[in-house]
Amino acid sequence: MKNIVILISGRGSNMEAIVNACQREGWPARIAAVISNKASASGLQFAASHGIATAVVDHKAFESREAFDAELARVIDGYQPDVVVLAGFMRILTEGFVRHFEGRLLNIHPSLLPAFPGLHTHQRAIEAGCKLAGATVHFVTPELDHGPIVLQAALPVWPDDTEDSLSARVLTHEHVIYPLAVRWVVEDQLSVTDGVVRQLQGAAQVRWGG
């Protein structure tokens, strides 16, 4: 049984999707803890209501990113994580933190990486005239919004899309691909060679419409 630790900063809708999929599909894993940098994060209440341990490490209590990340890593390590999942965790992590969890740290980004790293991805995609948008699950590396790509979902950008409408449609796809990617990791269904992720035979699949 593997341990999954999820980091959030707010509601954590992707966290909810992962918790629900883990319980519904009977993964060989458990959500060991949900941790936030904000005590006000509403996702902590969801986790607690599902019997999941919660913790808060307030970034405002530390004088530097390095000090915050060191304490965050210490708290995470207390749950003996096999996988650490960033689910709307709105902090840029230091290289030391990323290296500490290298190979077991996942993130989801609301664009088809390597396009549009950083913020305001949906508006930037619309302004660039993109015909497709989407989301990307990737292993985290020290370079922001980069790292080996595990899974992507693509969907059309409609002529009348706004930042909000596109964001909402992409989010529904995030709730499908992120749990699947985490499941692949806990079931040892992935290999990474020269920065490229490959699925092993027998990995669970999903199909959906745009």
What whole-number distance in Å separates Cα of residue 139 and Cα of residue 125? 23
**3-state SS record for 5-61:** EEEECCCCHHHHHHHHHHHHHCCCEEEEEEEECCCCCCHHHHHHHCCCEEEECCHHH
Q: Is 138 a catalytic residue?
A: no
Report which residue type is found at 18. I
Q: What is the C-alpha separation between 201 and 26, in angstroms, rounded?
A: 20
| Distance in angstroms (rounded) separating the CA atoms of residues 134 and 87 | 16
Burial class (CB in 10 A: 0-12, 13-18, 19+), 141: middle
Out of 50, 59, 109, 138, the active site residue is 109
Token duo for residue 188? 């040892």
| Contact between 210 and 156 (Cβ < 8 Å) | yes
Q: How far is Cα 136 from Cα 42, in angstroms, rounded to an integer?
A: 24
CB neighbours (10 Å) of residue 53? 14
Which positions are catalytic?
109
